[in-house]
Amino acid sequence: MTKDPDFRPENVEAGPPAFDHARHLPAQPDERWQPRQVFLFSGHMIDTPDRPTPRFPPEKESIAAQKIAEALDQLGAGPDDLALTQGACGGDLLFTEACQQRGVKVHWLQPFPEPDFIQKSVMPGGEAWRKRYLGAKARLAAPIRSIAENLEEPPLHTGPYERCNLWLLHTALACGVDKVRFICLWNGGGGDGPGGTAHMYKEVKRRTGQVTWLDTRTLW
């Protein structure tokens, strides 16, 4: 586990000015409740059987789940906190389940309408992950939100995964820059396309520097 302790709010770009407001408005939590901490997560999906180079093999799920749980415990996660992620099979759902076990209020923001998201980002893991998705969904603290229903047309050359990363990050920052705690389950490499964990890590580091990196190259 790699932690970046050099967080200094005075050196951070303010959340809202860092984005185009018209396109990346945050998904507002309940205004009557302000979280103590905001946990933002991005991580690898579970590998499909035909993946040429293993990245997150299914047999390593229990190790990843343990490390995510340990990271949340070290950060003192509890009912006064908010968690943001997408809900994909693999890291997202392991993070969601760990947060829900600790009473953290979890919100999912997704790059596609939910039926499309399930096909693209849940079903590749198989039926067992779909059932876990539905179980976690039933315990979410708010309805699922998707880009198509909540954001305006994208700027040129910005794909849905990049936009969703920025939307998640902007939503976290809107609660208070000093509250954001980013956890990533990542091998340090590029993704299978634009907008993966590498992109989120870079954007978080630019704006907060508060990162707990679960490096899969050393976890197994």
Q: Give me the pLDDT at residue 113, please.
A: 95
Q: Give me the pLDDT at residue 151, please.
A: 65
β-pairing, 211-215 with 180-186? parallel
Averaged pLDDT, 179-208: 91
In angstroms, the CA 144 to CA 78 distance is 21
pLDDT tops 50 at residue 178: yes
Q: What is the residue-averaged pLDDT of the chain?
A: 86
In angstroms, the CA 23 to CA 82 distance is 23
Strands (E) in the chain, as ranges, are 2-3, 38-43, 82-85, 105-110, 145-146, 180-186, 211-215
Averaged pLDDT, 158-183: 94
Whether 183 and 216 have beta carbons less than 8 Å apart is answered as no
β-pairing, 105-110 with 38-43? unpaired
As its CATH architecture, domain 2-7+35-46+58-219 has: 3-Layer(aba) Sandwich (3.40)
Averaged pLDDT, 58-68: 98
Q: Give me the pLDDT at residue 220, please.
A: 86
Whether 45 and 89 have beta carbons less than 8 Å apart is answered as yes
Give pLDDT tens digits for 19-41: 333 344 566 555 678 999 999 99
Whether 40 and 74 have beta carbons less than 8 Å apart is answered as no
Burial 11-43 (b: 16+ CB within 10 A, else e): ebeebeebbeeebbbbbebeeeeebebbbbbbb
Give pLDDT tens digits for 154-170: 554 578 999 999 999 99
- Map out the domains of the chain as residue ranges: 2-7+35-46+58-219
